[in-house]
Amino acid sequence: MKEYFKIGELFTYFFRKKDPNVSTSLKAMHFVNKLSIVIFLICLVVILYRLFIR
């Protein structure tokens, strides 16, 4: 069960070194993935806030 809740890979996804040989479309895909993860985390915080405060 611990395998499903590892968040180390999530943090390494945001802070890894840039590869100069990556194509533009792959860079765009990584940007969209990072953006969607950030938006999901913000929404999760808002939902938890509303659940516990209201």
Cα 13 to Cα 7: distance, rounded to the nearest angstrom: 10
State the pLDDT at residue 48: 95
What letter represents residue 30's amino acid? H
Report pLDDT digits (tens) over 6-15: 777 777 777 7
Q: What is the DSSP string of 2-54?
A: GGGG--HHHHHHHSPPPPTT--HHHHHHHHHHHHHHHHHHHHHHHHHHHHHH-
pTM: 0.68
Q: Which residue has the higher pLDDT, 47 or 21?
A: 47
